[in-house]
């Protein structure tokens, strides 16, 4: 099936990506990272499995910077915004599966299953693409149950940032901000039955709520130690 976008829309998306990538990359180079729980990611890799990264939509920019160049595949919408976002993140070393939680989801999840079988990690903004904010959608949990790969929740906070007035309150760390990432214990999903998926979806939300507090404390502590 061809692209739903017109030629002019694709050209505009390419122009946005060409201008946006160096801006984001330059900003990310100034971040002072602090991390906690990175051993959870390393343990999954050592086990020969692939992580399914799970985080909130409002932390896309910092997450893109931190996990770049790992061959991670993410779902991006087939609309205009999804097109320029996909073009930018590919420059950071990500792959894309086109679809969303509300449209073309089955096709996108099928592609993610193939990509994971070929050795690629996957990532989900689990309350995207339109919210409600901080409510986990079941797609990532279902994929974990279908592939046998664990969910890896994480949360990112910065000590100085700009915040958008969007539904997800997108956070953009300011130049030279201390940016903290808290990575949680892997969540294994044994199967894709409705009860299991719903139970693990709630467990994922609870994990991310705890990781948010952990990341906030880490960012504040990091800023204090550098002042």
Contact 151, 204 (CB under 8 A): yes
Give the pLDDT confidence score for residue 63 in this predicted structure: 97
pLDDT tens, 40-80? 999 999 999 999 999 999 999 999 999 999 999 998 888 88
Q: Does the pLDDT at position 222 exceed 80?
A: no
Q: Could you tell me the strand order of the sheet in which 178-183 lies?
A: 32-36, 178-183, 151-158, 52-55, 122-125, 73-76, 95-98
What 3-state DSSP class applies to 75? strand
- In sign, the C-alpha dihedral spanning 110, 72, 116, 206 is negative
Question: What's the whole-model pTM score?
Answer: 0.92
Q: Is the peptide bond before 165 cis (omega within 30 degrees of 0)?
A: no
Backbone torsions φ then ψ of 98, nearest 5 degrees: -85, 125
pLDDT tens, 78-97? 888 888 989 999 999 999 99
Average the pLDDT over 10-25 and give the result. 94
pLDDT tens, 170-202? 999 999 999 999 999 999 999 999 999 999 999
Q: Does the pLDDT at position 133 exceed 80?
A: yes
Least confident among 32-41, 76-85, 114-123:
76-85
């Amino acid at each position: 099936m061809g692209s739903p976008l017109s030629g002019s829309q694709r050209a505009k998306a390419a122009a946005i990506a060409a201008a946006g990538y160096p801006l984001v990359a330059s900003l990310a180079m100034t971040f002072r990272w602090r991390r906690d729980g990175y051993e959870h990611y390393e343990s999954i890799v050592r086990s020969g499995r692939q992580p399914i990264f799970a985080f909130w939509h409002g932390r896309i920019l910092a997450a893109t910077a931190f996990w770049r160049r790992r061959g991670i595949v993410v779902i991006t919408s087939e609309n205009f915004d999804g097109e320029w976002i996909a073009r930018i993140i590919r420059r950071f070393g990500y792959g894309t599966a086109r679809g969303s939680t509300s449209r073309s989801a089955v096709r996108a999840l099928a592609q993610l299953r193939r990509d994971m079988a070929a050795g690629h990690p996957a990532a989900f903004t689990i309350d995207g693409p339109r919210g409600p904010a901080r409510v986990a959608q079941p797609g990532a949990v279902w994929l974990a149950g279908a592939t046998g790969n664990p969910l890896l929740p994480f949360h990112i906070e910065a000590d100085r940032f700009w915040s958008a007035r969007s539904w997800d309150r997108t956070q953009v760390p300011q130049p030279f901000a201390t940016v903290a990432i808290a990575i949680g214990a892997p969540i294994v999903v044994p199967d894709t039955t409705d009860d299991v998926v719903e139970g693990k979806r709630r467990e994922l939300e609870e994990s991310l709520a705890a990781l948010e507090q952990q990341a906030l404390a880490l960012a504040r502590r990091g800023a204090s130690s550098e002042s």
